[in-house]
Amino acid sequence: MKIYQDYDLTNNNTYKVKLHTKYFVLPNNKNELISILKKIRSEKEKHLILGNGSNIIFTSDFYNGYIICLKNMNKYNIENDTIIAESGVMLPTISLASINNSLTGLEWASAIPGTLGGSIYGNAGAYLNSIMDYIETITYLDKELNIKTISKNDINYGYRYSDFKKDKDNIIISCTLKLNKGNKEESLKILKDRQERRKLTQPLEYPSAGSVFRNPPNNYAGKLIEDLGLKGYNINGAYISDKHANFIINKNNATGEDIVKLINYIKEKVKEKYNIELILEQEIERD
Ligand SMILES: Cc1cc2nc3c(=O)[nH]c(=O)nc-3n(C[C@H](O)[C@H](O)[C@H](O)COP(=O)(O)OP(=O)(O)OC[C@H]3O[C@@H](n4cnc5c(N)ncnc54)[C@H](O)[C@@H]3O)c2cc1C
């Protein structure tokens, strides 16, 4: 496993915020992951687990430690209605593979540019589905580097939440998913519809990390922001999208700090006008 030094992370975060990391590693399997974690401990360095970087805002231009990207841990196997997959598998990959095996359930995930691990962490979802609906078991490494397998019923999860957000030392290494028998042609139709709907409603032509805020109960974050007339508002290169007000886009070399300042501005305005506290869906990484 190669350790890259002073690595440019611009293409490893979908906001395309510019930064470097002291070290960058891509373990190919759980044994390599464990061995790099042991090395990091012995060197007393810090580390961050990264999937596809599609739900994270880096606020510094340098990460002073190891970024461990799990995208090379991407093996999966489909047998009947069950999928066993490593956490670095991309959602669009597993969505399409399941459809090709005439399984239904993951059509919604075909346009979400994250890994399975990242999606379990935040219980990613769309169109009233979420990944935890289909998870049976999760295998993770705990702080002491023990491998544990749990049923999804052993943890709390909900709308864009799982306990992995609370116990940040746990690293998801693989999972099993259970889907239903379906019809390939019908699933492909749903997949196409979801993708076209996204193209029409989301600013996919610009770097972003998807929806910025969770929807408040019985409301839509995007509508609240749009009704405040904030579409197009910007702080330096970070803009509230004209196409979808719950997206912040990097139009012109935005830094993570520009994005966070814009997030705080939106939260303040929404609180002032509607007395609603918007909750961030994305992770802020402060070095
Ligand atoms: C255009 C666009 C559209 C999107 N649409 C949606 C949508 O419809 N629904 C939705 O829910 N999200 C959406 N997202 C957000 C994002 O794609 C998902 O949240 C995705 O699941 C994040 O996965 P990731 O691998 O990129 O995570 P990352 O951004 O790499 O990481 C996010 C967090 O998870 C942690 N993490 C990652 N992998 C692991 C692991 N294996 N073990 C433990 N912790 C881990 C990281 O440390 C970090 O704290 C969208 C993003 C974009 C850019």
Q: How far is CA 93 from CA 107, 114, 161, 168, in A?
A: 11, 10, 23, 26
Which two three-digit tokens encode residue 158? 């909900």
Residue 109 confidence (pLDDT): 95
CATH of domain 3-69: 3.30.43.10
Q: Are 90 and 126 in contact (CB under 8 A)?
A: no
Output the pTM of the full model: 0.97
Cβ of 254 below 6 Å from ligand 1:
no
Domain ranges of the chain: 3-69, 76-200, 203-285
Cβ of 114 below 6 Å from ligand 1:
yes
Q: How far is the CA of 115 from the centre of ligand 1 (A)?
A: 7
Each residue of 89-115: pLDDT tens digit? 999 999 999 999 999 999 999 999 999
Average pLDDT over residues 183-192: 95
211 among known catalytic residues: yes
Cβ of 23 below 6 Å from ligand 1:
no
Q: What is the secondary structure of 85-127 as a DSSP string?
A: EETTSBHHHHHHHHHHTTEES-GGGGG---BHHHHHHTT-EET
Each residue of 133-148: pLDDT tens digit? 999 999 999 999 999 9
Residue 227 confidence (pLDDT): 98
- Fill in the DSSP letter of residue 132: G
Domain topology for 76-200: 3.30.465
Calpha distance 45→23 (Å, rounded): 10
Average pLDDT over residues 154-165: 96
Average pLDDT over residues 162-168: 95
Average pLDDT over residues 38-48: 97
Residue 128 confidence (pLDDT): 86
**Cα angle vertex 112, ends 111, 116, to 5°?**
130
Calpha distance 114→41 (Å, rounded): 27
The preferred substitution site among 33, 36, 86, 112 for testing ligand 1, maximizing ligand atoms within 8 Å of CB, is 112
Q: Are 87 and 116 in contact (CB under 8 A)?
A: yes
The pLDDT mean for the chain works out to 97
Cβ of 130 below 6 Å from ligand 1:
no
Q: Which CATH class is domain 203-285?
A: alpha beta
Indicate the range of 53-62, 83-92, 190-199, 257-266 predicted with least confidence: 190-199
218: left (phi over 0), alpha (psi -120 to 50) or beta: left
Which residue is listed with tokens 């005439």?
102
Residue 1 confidence (pLDDT): 87
